Amino acid sequence: MLNELLLLWSQRPAISLAVWLVLLVTVLYLAREPAHQLLKSTGRAIYRFMRSAARAVAHLEQRALQRNREIVLAQGREATEKFIEREFVRINEIVARDLSHYPALHRELTDAIERLENDYQAATDAPPLPPEWLSVVQTISELPRQGDPVVSSILENIQDEVVSAHEETLKAYQKSSAERHRLLSALQPQWRALAGKLSKTKDVVAITQERADAVDKHMANYEAIRDNEDSIARALMASSMTQFFISGLVLLVAVMGGLINFQLIAMPMAEMVGGNSYTGGFKTSDIAALVIIMVEIAMGLFLLESLRITKLFPVIAHMDDKMRKRMMVITFSILFILAGIEASLAYMRDLLALDREALKQSLAGVSALNAEFRWIPSIGQMVMGFILPFALAFVAIPLESFIHASRTVLGVMTVAVLRTLIICLRLVGGLAHQLSKMLVFGYDMLITVPLSLEKLVRQGINARHESRVAGSAEQPVVLSAEPTDSALESQLADKPRASRRRTKTAAPDTDLAAQQN
């Protein structure tokens, strides 16, 4: 068919091809104006469509951003409320435990201080004064004796009396000093007890102050959240991302633990449900093992929920305390029983392994050897089978964090995807617009020959017109209703500009204008 068309004009392909080429170029030349318009309008339409789509996606992006912010702030508000509540509970506990005894303590302190004061008063140093007449007697005893033996004897007696009076006074003073020392030494334990009580009171006050500081800090955060501050939103977002990765990591560890658990019980499960039974293409024993692990995880979730450690199920959180405690006991019992089953399955696995090994040795003609310390891996497997369910139960904590953090992460990812989409839409729009321009130039390149001819003809017409204008410059002006060649030329030259102006006023597009500039 193609060959027939090719040889339509002549049996010689070159000639026929040349004819086709001439025809094609002619058609393209004649259709130049509508073809240009088609290309330009198509490019412009695609460009505008893409810009509109980008604007719509940008609107979506803004909504997603707003939504993310609301989620993050709501989560932050809830977390801060929990913190503040917890801090108040702690302060209440401190006050109830330590400061409730403060009146008694105050009385003890007052009593101790009063006792100290009394003892201190009693221990005041008051040296006893010598009798008033002693100075008179001493003056008389120091009178000159003048050789009179009677006077001398009297004076000596007086002096002896003075000395004995001094000694008595000294003894009395020493006695009172000893009493004061006794009182002062009795003060020491009282001071120590007082200091201990004051120190204890200081500690309690310091702890309360510390808790109050923490409450202040959380309150400041809470106020920032309430005021919708950017800094707190960014901080919460970063915290949420960190939580996402940390909880994801812990969940990964839990999954690995689950796999080990699965390997531990899948094989002995064949003893219970059959080794060659299949459900949906999977071994029933494998499914049973998986179900047991899943049930253990579910029980762990319910247990932690009942303990109010996690809050994944509002139904459990809203239960009254009695029902919640019952649920706690039931879930723990089921978990304990399942752990026991796992331990027994792990032991059975060990037995089966031994039996299988013995059979293999028997088939190979090797006498079975009694391995020493074979009980160590047996006990290890049993303990592992018992511990792993409880360890898996705690997966609820990272799971809750992961679920909460994933809301934020998914929001961030959505925003990233929307931003990428916006960029792509704008790129495609710009590319289409530029491509339409390139195609216009390409179109003109295909019809270069007729365009060149047209240009030559126009130049000839212009030259003739100019010579005619020059010749008629000396003749009077003739008004004509018919448009002249030069007028037509100027109209043709002005046409694209007018067209552009029309387009610009008809549909203002700032982006397009910016790109054209």
Partner 1 sequence: MKAIYVITLTLMLGACGQPQPGNTAVFLLVDTSGTYTEELNKAQAILNYLLATLDSGDSIAVARIDSGSFSEKDVIAKATFDQRPSMANNQKRVFKHHMDRFVETVNTGSAHTDITGAILQATEFLNETGAGQKYVLVFSDLAEDLQQGHIRNFPLELGGIHVVALNVTKLRSDNIDPRDYINRLGLWQKRVVEGGGDWRVVNDFDRLDTLIGLNTTDPL
Give me the residues that bind partner 1 (CB under 8 A), please.
267, 270-271, 274-281, 351-353, 355-357, 359-360, 362-365
Q: Computed from CA positions of residues 447, 448, 452, 453, in that sequence, does the dihedral angle turn out positive or negative?
A: negative
Least CB distance from residue 284 to partner 1, whole Å? 10
**CB nearer to partner 1: pick between 363 and 473:** 363
CB of 282 to partner 1, least distance (A): 9
Q: What angle do CA 159, 161, 166 make, to 5 degrees?
A: 95
Q: How far is the CB of 333 from partner 1 (least distance, A)?
A: 29
Given the complex with partner 1, which of 189 and 281 has the nearer CB atom? 281
Question: What residues form DSSP beta bridges with 282?
Answer: 279
Q: Are the beta carbons of 381 and 349 closer than 8 angstroms?
A: yes
Q: Which is nearer to partner 1, 163 or 359 (CB)?
A: 359
Would you say 24 or 359 has its CB closer to partner 1? 359
Token look-up 């199920």 returns 313
Residue 91 and residue 211 in contact, taking contact as beta carbons nearer than 8 Å: yes
Q: Which of 359, 438 has the CB closer to partner 1?
A: 359
- Contact partners, residue 391, CB within 8 Å, separation at least 6: 257
Q: Quick one: tokens of 233?
A: 């939103």
Tell me the CB-side half-sphere exposure of residue 477, using CA atoms within 13 A: 1
Q: For residue 111, what are its two tokens?
A: 């009593």
In terms of DSSP H, where are the helices of 364-474?
375-393, 396-446, 448-472
Q: Which of 72, 348 has the CB closer to partner 1?
A: 348
Nearer to partner 1, 73 or 270 (CB): 270
Decide if 245 contacts 408 (C-beta within 8 A).
no
| DSSP 8-state symbol, 99 | G
Choose between 117 and 357: whose C-beta lies nearer to partner 1: 357
Phi, psi of 282 (to 5 degrees): -115, 150
Task: Say which DSSP state 477 is in.
Answer: P
For the CB of residue 63, give the shortest distance to partner 1 in the complex, in Å. 22
Instruction: Report the nearest approach of partner 1 to the CB of residue 440 (Å).
Output: 45
User: Least distance from C-beta 264 to partner 1, angstroms?
Assistant: 12
| CA dist., res. 402 & res. 251, Å (int) | 8
The minimum distance between CB 204 and partner 1, in angstroms, equals: 58
For 29, 289, 374, 381, 388, the CA distances from 346, given in Å and listed in that order, are 87, 12, 14, 6, 11
Q: Smallest gap, in angstroms, from Cβ of residue 342 to partner 1? A: 18
Residue 366 CB, nearest approach to partner 1 (Å): 11
CB atoms within 10 A of CB 465: 14
d(CA 168, CA 171): 5
Q: Which is nearer to partner 1, 275 or 496 (CB)?
A: 275
